[in-house]
Amino acid sequence: MVRAFTNSKLNKISNRDLLILAAAVIVIAVIYLLASHFNYGIGFPLDDSWIHQTYARNLAQRGEWAFRPGIPSAGSTAPLWSALLAIGFLISLSPYIWTYFLGALTLFALAVVCEWAVRTLVDSYRPKFPWVGIFFAVEWHFAWAAMSGMETLFHGLIVTTALVLLMTNTHRYLTLGLLTGLAAWVRPDGLTLLGPVLMAILLNGQDTRSKLIAFVRYLIGFGSLFVPYLLFNLAIGGTPMPNTFYAKQAEYASWQTIPIFTRLGQMFLQLLVGPSLVLIPGVVGWLVKSIQQKMWGSLAAFIWCAGYLGMYISRLPVYQHGRYIMPAMPIFFLFGILAFAEFDKGKLFERYHWIGQLIWRASIVMLAAAFIFLGAQSYSQDVALIETEMVVTAKWVAANLPPDALIAAHDIGALGFFDEHALIDLAGLISPDVIPFIRDEPQLTNYLNQQGADYLIAFPGFYPEMTGGVEKVFETNSVVTLKYDEESMAVYLWKTP
């Protein structure tokens, strides 16, 4: 992918520039990992990261697509990402080294794609220093995602690559089809790429014949990867999509009742925390230019971005630094960067233009630099919370509970990796039968009684009815948790009537 974007004769990115971008990625990765190490220790900022590691380990060591050995399940949202992580177990570099390497490599590829995009779309952008790529390499959302162990940034890379190709009026519709199918293997919402690509085919085609040929090529590329994806999910879980596709929507149904303006406010708060705030005028400017000049590829990318953000805030909460909307951030930020690159070499304010240049440049540089460290601090706090709550609990359970105990838990990632007890997944990822009543505590109580659960692991505030009055056998009481004023995870003795 990187090679394809660096070999264009007109917009070639030199080996020197690639080394600069690689160095920027390495520096930002080291900063984040050092911050985590000195705050508490090396780990991942999400419990879900351990879900991928568990699937990857079982695939590498047992040849099974399973969370619990011998029990196939479709609980991984990102089969391709889990499969890539499995390589690390085959070469004995997992769970940490290989995962961080994949994240850093993805961040580097994203920086290269965005650098190439601006060189292609803005004729005046011929820098001696690849500052666009560096911006994307050090932007804190992307650095956090790169070191998270999650598929988030990988998905963002595939989506951004497809949309950048559309913005450059590519005719590689077979490639676009393959990218759309590949995106689905990383996250089901990769299917949203169908919209902008089909829009570009309809508006850019010269005649009906050329549109039909483009559509057929796109369909061949897409179908060659998407049909196996459907068959894979049907074979493993009995549904066309992973369990997470259905479970997350059911779990956060209450989010959908919150007023839309409140949800929009929360989304923009996450989207604009950092140097991205300075890019808003550029985003508007590039949209205006796209409309005026009928740049159908850019307009298709804009529509996709708006639709993607709208889809998520309508269904899922914008939490954990907006990780569900992070795949849309690269293209959103790119719109602003494109306008800034044009403005930087223009003469909009004539002899006073340098004032605007200075303000915009200084704002981006200062905010990007500040959030390198603020982002690293936030990352280290997230890692510390997961390590002292989920990981500590999982290791305690593995060492102290009877081997034949049946455990019910909402956060199963670390439990899956560090413990071997039988599990009831209250989030529905590997126990899809709980999805219809996923947030109904009375029904969950009956379900646990029917299944004969022995222990419940949860944060008390998440299941107040189920944990009220139940004997507590372990609580983390982590100093990290107390420091950040968070709730401690606990293990409860579940006594079935």
Query: Could you report the per-residue pLDDT of 213-255, keeping only the tens digit for each?
Result: 999 999 999 999 999 999 998 888 888 877 666 666 656 666 6
pLDDT band at 256 (very low <50, low <70, confident <90, very high): low
Chain segment 171-214, per-residue pLDDT in tens: 999 999 999 999 999 999 999 999 999 999 999 877 889 999 99
Greater confidence, 222 or 323? 222
Q: What is the pLDDT of residue 352?
A: 66
Chain segment 345-380, per-residue pLDDT in tens: 666 556 666 677 788 788 888 988 999 999 999 999
Q: What is the pLDDT of residue 2?
A: 47
Q: What is the rounded average pLDDT of the residues 275-280? A: 86
Coil, strand or helix at 66: strand
The whole-angstrom separation of Cα 223 and Cα 215 is 12
% of the chain with per-residue pLDDT over 70: 91
Sole residue written with tokens 């059911």: 250
Task: Please name which of 125, 185, 112 lies closest in space to residue 345, comparing C-alpha atoms.
Answer: 125
pLDDT band at 313 (very low <50, low <70, confident <90, very high): confident
Greater confidence, 170 or 352? 170
398 CB contacts (<8 Å, ≥6 apart)?
418, 419, 420, 421
Q: What is the rounded average pLDDT of the residues 107-116? A: 97
pLDDT band at 331 (very low <50, low <70, confident <90, very high): very high
Check residue 488 and report its DSSP letter.
P
Handedness of CA 481, 482, 487, 488 (dihedral sign): positive
The amino acid at residue 41 is G
Burial class of residue 194, CB neighbours in 10 A (0-12, 13-18, 19+): middle
Q: Within the chain, what is the greatest distance between any pair of CA atoms?
A: 82
Sole residue written with tokens 């080294």: 97
pTM: 0.92
Q: What is the rounded average pLDDT of the residues 306-320? A: 79
pLDDT band at 343 (very low <50, low <70, confident <90, very high): confident
The whole-angstrom separation of Cα 321 and Cα 256 is 19
Backbone angles phi, psi at 409, to 5 degrees: -155, 150
First-to-final CA distance of the chain: 58
Taking each helix axis from N to C end, the angle separating 15-39 and 131-138, rounded to the nearest 10 degrees, works out to 20
Question: Please, what's the b/e burial string for 217-230 (b: 16 or more CB within 10 A of its CB; e: otherwise)?
Answer: bbbebbeebbeebe
Q: What is the rounded average pLDDT of the residues 23-37? A: 97
The whole-angstrom separation of Cα 244 and Cα 377 is 30
Q: What is the rounded average pLDDT of the residues 64-88? A: 91
Chain segment 146-167, per-residue pLDDT in tens: 999 999 999 999 999 999 999 9
Q: What is the pLDDT of residue 223?
A: 96
The yes-or-no verdict on residue 484 having pLDDT over 70 is yes
Check residue 489 and report its DSSP letter.
P
Averaged confidence pLDDT in the chain = 89
Sheet holding 490-493, edge to edge: 422-425, 406-409, 455-458, 490-493, 472-475
495 CB contacts (<8 Å, ≥6 apart)?
470, 471
Strands 490-493 and 472-475 come out as antiparallel
Q: What is the rounded average pLDDT of the residues 85-114? A: 97
The yes-or-no verdict on residue 263 having pLDDT over 80 is no
Contact 336, 282 (CB under 8 A): yes
Taking each helix axis from N to C end, the angle separating 329-344 and 152-167, rounded to the nearest 10 degrees, works out to 50
Q: What is the pLDDT of residue 244?
A: 67
Strand partners, 457: 409, 491
Q: What is the pLDDT of residue 253?
A: 61
Strand partners, 475: 490
The whole-angstrom separation of Cα 59 and Cα 89 is 9
Chain segment 419-445, per-residue pLDDT in tens: 999 999 998 888 888 888 888 899 999
Q: What is the pLDDT of residue 346?
A: 61
Q: What is the pLDDT of residue 303?
A: 95
The whole-angstrom separation of Cα 341 and Cα 124 is 8
